[in-house]
Chain A
């Protein structure tokens, strides 16, 4: 789907860090439209007992965007952010969806915690993206680790 590389802002402990892609992701779906994909996680590395460390997710931002950067759908969770202080994980239907419903454009639609792998699976299957062979196995391998370490559902 992309040759982008996932990189963190750093490994310094006890301060918020970002994990994101090295460059914007663009792909063509079955409708021949060009889409963009955003992935950002905010996280913190904290020392636990002894030499054990734990990485805690502080916020996430996964979005399917138009070629111009307008959100079509976006999964957000940012409990410590400013602005409207929406603490629960939610889905946005953005301007890029051209749904024509003003209330929906500003709505925070509650969701459970979303794994990025699930978001990618949704994009590939629902938008009929021509992903590389074996993508399901790769996603499943990564996704299977998530429930073991997450602190909340």
Chain B
């Protein structure tokens, strides 16, 4: 999607890839594994590297439910 200012949103595939790359870089797991552990409350959200990844949750989770976990 592109708005009048030309700022195109990430395509779904781009968003999933960026989330996966970020999770692997900062916490050493895949994006899928990161989400699984997040749902199981296994991350320390005060850890900067974890927080860094959670800031990108809207890339892969489009509902407001993420507000409960981040």
**A interface residues, Cβ below 8 angstroms from B:** 6-12, 14-18, 20, 22-24, 38, 40, 42, 59, 61, 63, 69, 71, 74, 76, 78, 80-84, 92, 94
Chain B residues, CB < 8 A from A83: 44-46, 51
Please determine whether B62 and A10 come into contact, CB atoms closer than 8 angstroms. yes
B67, CB-defined interface residue at 8 Å = yes
Number of A-B contacts (CB under 8 A): 87
Cβ of A82: which chain B residues have Cβ within 8 Å of it? 45, 69-70
* B→A interface (CB under 8 Å): 1, 3, 7-10, 14-15, 18, 21, 25-26, 44-46, 48-49, 51-52, 54-59, 62-64, 66-67, 69-70
CA distance A71 to B51 in the complex (A): 12
* Chain B residues closer than 8 Å to A74, beta-carbon distance: 48
Closest to A38 in B: B52
